[in-house]
Amino acid sequence: MFSQRISKYSEDRYYDLFNTLYQKLLQWIINRPEIIILGDMETLEPFFIEFVIKPAKNRKQNDYNEYFILTYSDDIVELFIEFKNICSSYGTNFLKEKGRTSDDLSEFILSHSIIQEKLSECENTDDNEYEYE
């Protein structure tokens, strides 16, 4: 499938589409150092391709991280819309099936990464470091 042309009117192959989407995802993650991929970048790619291809109804949804959702929800919606636009520009219907939302992308990122929550100053201090008068 990867080497097949997407359309008889274009030289683009499915590999080109998946690579473009994957590079966008990697750039998004790299720009957020508190998101750490489990494994490495190469082992994540087949899971991402499966995410793009596999219909949403067959995907499990069991991870939830309130910090992640509150911090990145808007960014993930924008990234998902960008993914859908890229798929459209390649002439495919990936990510457009009924029920497919940015929540699926959030679930994918959460299931393949560790989120290091930033501690606030209050949480980050050690009471033993301070002298009380």
Measured CA to CA, the distance from residue 96 to residue 55 in angstroms comes to: 9
- For the record, the structure tokens of 97 come out as 């099936």
**Per-domain residue ranges of the chain:** 14-115
Q: Is 106 exposed, middle or buried (0-12, 13-18, 19+ CB in 10 A)?
A: buried
75-78-80-84 Cα dihedral, nearest 10 degrees: -170
pLDDT bin (cut points 50, 70, 90) of residue 90 is very high
Question: What pLDDT does residue 63 have?
Answer: 60
Amino acid at 95: L
- The predicted model gives 56-76 an average pLDDT of 78
Q: What is the pLDDT of residues 50-60, one digit of tens each?
A: 999 987 665 55
For residue 12, give Cα distances in angstroms to 6, 70, 79: 6, 37, 22
- pLDDT value at 61 more than 70: no
Q: What is the number of helices (H) and of strands (E) in the chain?
A: 5, 2
pLDDT bin (cut points 50, 70, 90) of residue 67 is confident
Q: What is the pLDDT of residues 95-133, one digit of tens each?
A: 998 889 999 999 999 999 998 876 555 555 554 454 444
Lowest mean pLDDT among 60-69, 73-82, 106-115: 60-69
Average pLDDT along the chain: 85
